[in-house]
Amino acid sequence: MLKRVEARGQGLLYLETSAQALPRAESADRFIRATHAAQGAFAALGLRAGDRVLLVLRDSLRFPALFLGALRGGLIPIPVSTLLPAKDVRFIAQDAQVRAAVVDRELPEELADPRLFPSDCALFRGDEAIWKEAEPPPAAATSAGAEAFWLYTSGTTGRPKGVIHRHADLIVTAEQYGRGVLEIGPKDRLLSAAKLFFAYGLGNALTFPLWLGAETILYADRPTPEAMFELIERHQPTVFFGVPTLYAAMLACDVPARALASLRVCASAGEALPAPIFEAFRERFRVEILDGIGSTEMLHIFLSNRAGNVRPGTSGTPVPGYAVRVVDEEMRDVAPGESGELLAHGESAARRYHNRAEATAHTMFEPGWLRTGDRYIAHEDGTFQHTGRQNDLFKVSGQWVSPIEVESTLIEHPAVLEAAVVGAEDERELMKPKAFVVLTGAASPSPELEAELREHVKARLTPHKYPRWFVFVDALPKTATGKIQRFNLRAKA
């Protein structure tokens, strides 16, 4: 990958910006020097091939340099979310037994508490202290199939698990999704709302531009809709990567239709994109959102819609090089139109979790195959529709309810910005749907609105699916990757 970057010479590689700083451009040759310096700095610490390095960094030019510098030296970089609480940073640092950790200077002091890390871990607050302009050591001997880096799962159902990926996995995702679906090339400039420490963001803002020759905008701060509109207007990206919550929030902003004129395509992942959001976005901004599904274990998106061939409300069809199945509890394929668990196969699939033999055996049940834990329906036209997580479904009057179906229906109402639906027991201890709703800025909670939303769902879905209760909230609980934590809502139900 670095050889491809070297060939770009003085060509623009990254634009770094934040709310507090002016944009800074980085050429390919300067980036290569920074990567070599990072490798040399790690070597000077006495780190050896296979040692693990924790990166708790905001999106900046230092992130890809440190990540790739570690890879070049045979080390195992482990980027983690800057949004994690200290207890989760401690769990990951101890679970991985990291030998070095770099914590961004702009992050809270508690994330750099030495007590979070193993006793033999070299800890740096900011990365300036480890940089030296020196001749780098030669690249470590490695192979495409060798262990390269770890990513920890977002922990939607329990404590995070360390997902072990190989060097080749990066290239597979760039070729099969970045080139094969999005057709990214040297004429593109990319902007990712998802940060580099996520599997989604790592591909969007590191692997894809470096491998496919595009330019990238790095934004260190929170990706608010206002910030995204400003960045798009100022830097004119051609490809934008977001999540459903962000797209919904962007629709609520008072901006002209031409605000996204530079974009030729948008991508979405993290949660299923409701069809009403897709339709409203396309109608207003004249650009398609290609919804898809990926996972930390598969590294990036493996099911996706295609430009000019979108079926709203679905995750599209398999990305080139990937295969999927929808199966029942006995791992038998179900008929089209029936719901089952989605299995995915691809060359970028992780082979194991760190120190989690039971979870590995369950999820990575055959080489290249993963159990996703997502419920899907396969349609006759070859598209696949997400119906929820395995543990999100619940029965009402003996019939299954998919939270996503009810949520998508609620979002069709103009007063609703976001919604999450869980099962809750009534006074007779019978399960019924309960909705947690975030309203748009123009709407206010009221008994009248609650009744209106209830009738809105009743008119569009079968009777047992309408929410019996509504709770209006300012925000929904989410993981660091933007996925709704329905288990937290179930605890409150």
Q: Domain boundary at 389, 418, 440, which? A: 389
What pLDDT score does 395 carry? 80
Please check whether residues 403 and 379 belong to one and the same domain: no
Is the same domain home to 396 and 331?
no
- Asked whether residue 93 is assigned to any structural domain, the reply reads no
Q: Domain of 423?
A: 392-492
267 lies in the same domain as 381: yes
Q: Is residue 288 part of a domain?
A: yes
Q: Which pLDDT value is given to residue 132?
A: 61
Does some domain include residue 113?
no
Query: pLDDT truncated to tens, each residue of the chain (493 aa)?
Result: 788 887 787 777 888 777 666 667 778 888 888 899 999 999 989 999 999 999 999 999 899 999 999 999 999 999 999 988 899 999 999 999 999 999 999 999 999 999 999 999 999 987 665 566 556 789 999 999 999 999 998 655 567 899 999 999 999 999 999 999 999 999 999 999 999 999 999 999 999 999 999 999 999 999 999 999 999 999 999 999 999 889 988 998 999 999 999 999 999 998 889 898 999 999 999 999 999 999 999 999 999 999 999 999 999 999 999 999 999 999 999 999 999 999 999 999 999 999 999 999 999 999 999 999 999 999 999 999 998 887 787 888 777 788 888 999 999 999 999 999 999 988 877 789 999 999 998 899 999 999 999 999 999 998 889 999 999 999 999 876 677 888 889 888 7
Note whether residue 299 is domain-resident.
yes
Of 370, 389, 408, which residue constitutes the final position of a domain?
389
Distance of CA 150 to the CA centre of its chain: 15
Structure tokens, 305: 């819609």
What is the C-alpha to C-alpha distance for residues 335 and 130, in angstroms, rounded to an integer?
57
Q: What pLDDT is attached to residue 20?
A: 62
CB 53 within 8 A of CB 75: yes
User: Which of 291, 303, 290, 299 has its CA nearest to residue 343?
Assistant: 303
* CB-neighbour burial class of residue 135 (10 A; exposed 0-12, middle 13-18, buried 19+): exposed
Answer yes or no: do 315 and 458 share one domain.
Answer: no
Q: What are phi and psi of 87, to 5 degrees?
A: -65, -35
User: ∠ at Cα 149 (179, 290), nearest 5°?
Assistant: 30
Looking at the fold, whether 186 and 312 belong to one and the same domain comes out as yes
* pLDDT at res. 188: 97
Residues 463 and 332 in one domain: no
Are 357 and 407 within one domain? no
> What end-to-end distance do the CA atoms of the chain give, in Å?
49
Grouping H, G, I as helix, E, B as strand and the rest as coil, residue 321 is: coil
Residue linked to tokens 């809750």: 424
Residue 111 lies in a domain: no
Distance CA 72, CA 485 (A): 37
pLDDT for res 130 = 59
What is the structure's pLDDT at 448? 95
Residue 145 lies in a domain: no
Q: Are residues 312 and 239 in the same domain?
A: yes
CATH number at residue 311: 3.40.50.12780
Is the same domain home to 487 and 385? no
- Contacts with 203 (C-beta within 8 Å, 6 or more apart), sequence order: 170, 173, 174, 177, 178, 299, 300
3-state secondary structure of 14: strand
Q: What is the distance, to the nearest Å, from the Cα of residue 46 to the centroid of all Cα atoms in its chain? A: 33
> 305 Cβ partners below 8 Å, 6+ apart?
288, 290, 291, 292, 311, 314, 315, 316, 317, 383
Within this chain, do residues 405 and 315 fall inside the same structural domain, yes or no?
Answer: no
In a domain, 189, yes or no: yes
The pLDDT score that the predictor gives to residue 131 is 61
From 362, 389, 416, give the residue that closes a domain. Answer: 389
Count, residues in the chain: 493
Same-domain status, 349 and 297: yes
User: Residue 211 has which token pair?
Assistant: 């491998």
Amino acid (one-letter) located at 138: P
CATH code, 420: 3.30.300.30
Identify the H or E element spanning 292.
strand 289-294
Are 209 and 311 contained in the same domain? Answer: yes
3-state secondary structure 435-473: EEEEECCCCCCCHHHHHHHHHHHHCCCCHHHCCCEEEEC
Tally of domains in the chain:
2
Query: Measured between alpha carbons, how far is 223 from 231 in angstroms, rounded to an integer?
Result: 10
Phi-psi region of 182 (alpha: psi -120 to 50; beta: other; left: phi over 0): alpha
- Note whether 290 and 305 are within 8 A (CB): yes
Contact present, 158 and 359 (Cβ < 8 Å): no
Residue 413 CA to residue 128 CA, distance in Å, equals: 50
**Is residue 403 domain-resident?**
yes
